[in-house]
């Protein structure tokens, strides 16, 4: 069996997330498996680097699948892009060693959470960013983010209720960047803050809860130092709100 690694882009808006579900076909994994099964002529299972939740987007999701086929990677790429709906695209297909596993071999991931500060609706980014009317104290959020960088037990920052698995993760870097100009937004009326998280792995809802917590710091509802206390407490209720899925993008998976 040959093993193929694929890099994917998708807009999560109309999907129930990455993971295949019994009751519905409307998942990214479900769409891809149905297409690959048709292409190969026998059942194909695809493994993603990890799940993305309903509504979350991906710029560089990675997955792999094993298949008996004579098709070249390029033929697979063209076939898939021809049949996939326009909100899913294959960026690359590469044949890899039999042992490559897109989830078990992950070394790191980068997520971006986009917040657009605007007092009016934002037509062009309405599906790809979280909109806020209030202004945000970027310096305070950067200070708060420093407490999250490093190796910590992130139990307070996950919605997962399974108690058995480790909730220790390492965050290598958090960048909070203010940008004011793009072609699709009006300067002086709308600006954007990007929260870029790189780490060795992220728990269920972790990026969205971290961002929700940092936003509360940016709104001066919390002090930056409280983040350390939240981490120490290990209690979900101490952390901030879960921000909407549509602002989150899986940027890159590293191996």
Q: Please identify, using beta-carbon distances, which residue of 130 and 185 lies nearer to a copy of itself.
A: 185
Using CB under 8 A as the binding rule, the residues of this chain from 190 to 249 that contact a copy of itself are 194, 249
Using CB under 8 A as the binding rule, the residues of this chain from 175 to 194 that contact a copy of itself are 182-186, 189, 194
Q: Please identify, using beta-carbon distances, which residue of 168 and 177 lies nearer to a copy of itself.
A: 177
Q: How far is the CB of 202 from a copy of itself (least distance, A)?
A: 18
Task: Work out the number of other CB atoms within 10 angstroms of the CB of residue 211.
Answer: 30
87 belongs to the catalytic site: no
Give the 3-state secondary structure of residue 117. Answer: strand
**What are the start-end ranges of the H helices in 118-242?**
138-146, 206-218, 226-233
Give phi and psi for 167, each to the nearest 5: -110, 20
Instruction: Check: CB of residue 69 under 8 Å from CB of residue 24.
Output: no
135, 141, 178, 211 alpha-carbon torsion, rounded to 10° = -90
Q: Please identify, using beta-carbon distances, which residue of 97 and 188 lies nearer to a copy of itself.
A: 188
Nearest to 171 by CA among 222, 110, 231: 110
Q: Contact letters (x/-) for a copy of itself, 67-96, by CB under 8 A? A: ----------x---x--x-xxxxxxx----
Write out the residues near a copy of itself by the rule CB under 8 A: 9-11, 57, 59-60, 77, 81, 84, 86-92, 112, 114, 120-124, 126, 128, 182-186, 189, 194, 249, 251
Residues with active-site annotation: 53
């Amino acid at each position: 069996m040959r093993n193929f690694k694929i890099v994917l882009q998708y807009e999560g808006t109309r999907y129930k997330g990455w993971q295949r579900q019994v009751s519905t076909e409307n998942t990214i994994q479900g769409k891809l498996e149905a297409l690959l099964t048709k292409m190969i002529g026998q059942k194909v299972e695809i493994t993603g680097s990890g799940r993305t939740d309903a509504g979350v987007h991906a710029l560089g999701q990675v997955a792999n699948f094993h298949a008996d086929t004579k098709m070249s990677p390029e033929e697979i790429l063209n076939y898939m892009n021809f049949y996939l709906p326009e909100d899913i695209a294959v960026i690359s297909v590469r044949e890899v060693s039999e042992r490559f596993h897109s989830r078990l071999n992950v070394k790191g991931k980068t997520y971006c959470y986009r917040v657009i500060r605007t007092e009016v609706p934002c037509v062009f980014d309405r599906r790809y960013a979280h909109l806020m009317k209030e202004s945000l104290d970027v310096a305070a959020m950067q200070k708060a983010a420093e407490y999250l960088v490093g190796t910590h037990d992130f139990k307070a920052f996950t919605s997962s209720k399974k108690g058995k698995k480790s909730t220790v993760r390492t965050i290598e870097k958090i960048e909070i960047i203010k940008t004011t100009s793009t072609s699709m937004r009006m300067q002086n009326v709308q600006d954007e803050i990007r929260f870029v998280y790189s780490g060795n792995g992220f728990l269920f809802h972790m990026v969205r809860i971290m961002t929700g917590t940092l936003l509360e710091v940016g709104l001066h509802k919390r002090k930056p130092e409280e983040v350390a206390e939240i981490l120490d407490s290990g209690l979900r209720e101490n952390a901030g709100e879960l921000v909407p899925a549509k602002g989150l993008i899986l940027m890159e998976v590293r191996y």
